[in-house]
Amino acid sequence: MKFIEQIELKGYKGLDGLTVSNIGQFNVILGDNNVGKTSLLESILFTSEEVENIGGFLDGAIGWRFSSAKMQASFHETDLLDYYFDFNSSRDVITINFKERGGDTQVANFEKRNVDVMSMDEIEKFKLKLPAYFREKTSLSSNEVFKLSTRKKEVYFKSQLQFMRFAGYLPFIPMRGSYDDDLVGYFSNLVGIDYQYKLQLIEVLKRGLGEPISDIIISTTIIKGYPIICIVLEGNNSPIPISIFGDGMLKLFRYLLEVLSCKDKFLLIDEVDNGFYYKKYDLMFEVLIKAAFEHRVQLFMTTHSLECINAFEKVVSNNENYKNDARVINLFRGVDKAVKSVTYTFNEFSTMLSEGNEVR
């Protein structure tokens, strides 16, 4: 994978005109409430090679913000496409320029189009992209369509339903992401690929829980016929559901599983420290950064916590392999109220922390 080293956003929600430069492999994103940290994470999804799944990516990422099932259902009934354009109604195009390390600048354009001004060639292309049901039931006249184009692909969307079709992995861990059914699939796939992954997971849980764990298994006996991940302690063959442990350990387990699932890609983590006791921040970053370094995963993590930033600095400072690629990215509003960014290298933010300067 070529790591992303620069992102430039135009017409994207509240981040119009934002450029983030000098991005590293391990990135902690800081900023005030509502400045756009999570929105920046979402924008990175547009750089995925699976752009045809972008609607599902965004629906999954944004839907986690709503705490109740009723609120999520209400959100899913809204038009996700307009959600992205309404933040800047003067524009009909969202442009995301991103530069990969050692490569050229690539462009993803997300464009609202009116059928009346589209060429016949574009309309025919669009019709071919639609599922049969939409071709038969939907009239194109006087309707808006949406076009997402990158250097490699061009995808048209007619509606919210088609935009949200999704079949793929979402490299995004929301603030409340903890134990869920998806972990069973990740765990099964990884252990099937390489048993060493299980050994890594066992060692991490041993450190986090302070218990003599001998195995991690999938059991269908605790809840009859329903697969859940369990740990087995040395000298005790009775499986214990991992879901009974604290949120911090569950998130640590998820973090490692998802880093291993994102080999040669990127992983986005919103509020990385959420659910962790502050004395576990060191362990959290040790696990995350070590796995990301070994499996060439680019990390983007948001936080508000100074203790979390200090733990990040401590873990990076203990390994020379990490220093050149560790960054702190601060988002802030300028005097013109536009969101801007400044990127600090390891030496810069380490010096600021040691001198008691504010990096947030």
Q: Which of 11, 14, 23, 15 is nearest to 342 (CA)?
A: 23
Q: Residue range 79-90: average pLDDT?
A: 59
Lowest-confidence region among 20-24, 202-206, 311-315: 202-206
Beta bridge partners of 202: none
How much is the mean pLDDT over the chain? Answer: 81
Beta bridge partners of 266: 298
pTM, full prediction: 0.86
CA 57, 49, 188 angle in degrees (round to 5)?
Answer: 65
pLDDT digits over 245-277, tens only? Answer: 888 888 888 999 999 889 999 999 999 999 898
Q: Which residue has the higher pLDDT, 319 or 75?
A: 319
Q: Which of 100, 101, 11, 15 is nearest to 49 (CA)?
A: 100
Q: Which residue has the higher pLDDT, 296 or 74?
A: 296
- Kindly give the interhelix angle for 37-44 and 54-63, rounded to the nearest 10 degrees: 160
Residue 54 in 3-state DSSP?
A: helix
Lowest-confidence region among 35-39, 70-74, 306-310: 70-74
Q: What is the pLDDT of residue 143?
A: 59
Q: Residue range 112-140: average pLDDT?
A: 57
pLDDT digits over 193-240, tens only? Answer: 788 888 888 888 888 888 899 999 998 888 878 898 999 999 888 899
pLDDT confidence tier of residue 138, bands split at 50, 70 and 90: very low
Write down all domains in the chain, each with its CATH number in brackets.
1-171+263-360 (3.40.50), 177-261 (no CATH)
The CA distance from 293 to 24, in Å, is: 12
**Res 326 pLDDT > 80:** yes
**Res 5 pLDDT > 90:** yes
pLDDT confidence tier of residue 135, bands split at 50, 70 and 90: very low
